[in-house]
Amino acid sequence: MKTIKGPGLFLAQFMGDKPPFNTMESICKWAASLGFVGVQIPTVDERCIDLKKVAESKDFADEYKETIRSYGVEITELSTHLQGQLVAVHPAYDILFDSFAPPQYRNNPKARQAWAVDQLKLAAKASRNLGIDVCVTFSGALIWPYVYPWPQRSKGLVDDAFKELAKRWLPILNFFDEQGVDLCYEVHAGEDLHDGITFERFWEATGKHPRVNLLYDPSHFILQQLDYITYIDHYHSFIKMFHVKDAEYHPNGKCGAYGGYLDWSERPGRFRSLGDGQVDFKRIFSKLAYYNYPGWAVLEWECVLKHPEQGAAEGARFIKDHIIRVTDKAFDDFAAAKTDTEINRKIMGL
């Protein structure tokens, strides 16, 4: 068994225009002051990382890594959530997702997708140069508008969609393989990979590509009413990254899982700060320790009620308190007998 690393902090929701959230130096020092020992870096934010330089120069990557360490934290992983989303966009979402790309690629889906693919490849090289063997992304979606089967989906639509999705991702996955980096898909509503079944479909469509792996985030499964504990039993061999995020689900007489188009604060399913929701993190941390989860426990803050600074301060302590220092001995070792084949044979009546 392995002791999970952490606590780490995903910086995406904390970067801003005011100190200490507007530079890497100040936000990393702020995170370290709260007890975080690692930061997960959103590669789309140029204030956080010069992705191209880190990808193209090992010397620059080494210097960047040491600079982050000098602020009191280390780099846990790189995030390509927004770029990954743009690998596969249904036309219904073109306008909304254009904001995920630089202005020069907007109103041009092909150019936007090409930019996203290049970004992912840069992230693979950057991860390698930083000595990190995992990277997180979203799958994007070609058939999310048809997640509810009415009107009836045309025959073969789902299979064709996953074939196309795999076709787009396979060159990226092969490039990640060349760099020795696993690509961890965050299973998430709005993506074609949004539960265990859809993950399996994609994995099968890629020919069971060895670089297809998972980021585990139980909060999304609370909103889906999916068994997030048993999910670990099914997919623990794929889980290489972990977002520690809480959520709650309280159905009522007016709306349920679809949310009634309500704002987040009014929906039955809501994201909460750690400890304020319904996720059983004691069981999760125990399961992951049991299955030798090799990575970090990284706080992702997305609470509809609590201020992010309070959520971060409480979250660092919460994760630290839940990390299990795995044992290197059995509790009954004190009563253990020495190995003796002759005695064992006598015990068995032989």
Residue type, 21: F
Report the 10 Å Cβ neighbour count for 32.
Answer: 17
Mean pLDDT of the 82-110 span: 97
The whole-number pLDDT of residue 185 equals: 98
Say what the pLDDT of residue 299 is.
98
Overall average pLDDT of the 220-246 stretch: 98
5-347: CATH, from 3.30.365.10, 3.20.20.150, 3.40.50.300, 3.40.30.10:
3.20.20.150
**Amino acid 284: pLDDT:** 98
Name the band, by pLDDT with cuts 50, 70 and 90, for residue 331. confident
Q: How confident is the model at residue 204 (pLDDT cuts 50, 70, 90)?
A: very high
Give the mean pLDDT of the chain. 96
Residues 206, 166 contacting (CB under 8 angstroms): yes
State the Rg of the chain over Cα.
22
CA distance 15 to 46: 11
The structure tokens listed for 63 are 């210097």
Query: What are phi and psi for residue 314, nearest 5 degrees?
Result: -70, -35
Residue 12 is given by DSSP the state T
According to the model, what pLDDT value does residue 116 have?
A: 98
The structure tokens 């201020």 sit at: 307
**What whole-number distance in Å separates Cα of residue 217 and Cα of residue 302?**
12
pLDDT at 333 over 80: no
Residue 350 has pLDDT above 80, yes or no: yes
Helix or strand or coil: residue 243?
Answer: strand
What value does the mean pLDDT take over residues 236-247? 98
Helix runs in 180-245, H state only: 196-205, 218-224, 228-235
Dihedral sign for Cα atoms in the order 23, 28, 33, 39 = positive
pTM of the model: 0.95
User: What was the pLDDT predicted at 167?
Assistant: 98
**What is the tens place of the pLDDT at every residue in 271-317?**
999 999 999 999 999 999 999 999 999 999 999 999 999 999 999 99
pLDDT at 327: 86
d(CA 295, CA 94): 34
pLDDT greater at residue 287 or residue 341: 287
How many Cα atoms sit within 13 Å of 220 on the Cβ side? 17
pLDDT digits (tens, 9 = 90+) for 12-66: 999 999 999 999 999 999 999 999 999 999 999 999 999 999 999 999 999 999 9
- pLDDT on residue 338: 77
Provide mean pLDDT across the span 200-227: 98
Interatomic CA distance for residues 268 and 252, integer angstroms? 7
CA 216-326-11 angle, to 5 degrees, is 40
Q: Does pLDDT of 329 surpass 90?
A: no
Give the percent of the chain with pLDDT over 70.
Answer: 100
Determine the Cα angle at 89 with ends 153 and 303, to 5°. 100
> Is the per-residue pLDDT at 340 higher than 90?
no
- Which residue, 38, 252, 234, is CA-closest to 130? 38
Q: Is the per-residue pLDDT at 341 higher than 90?
A: no
Instruction: Spell out the domain ranges in the chain.
Output: 5-347
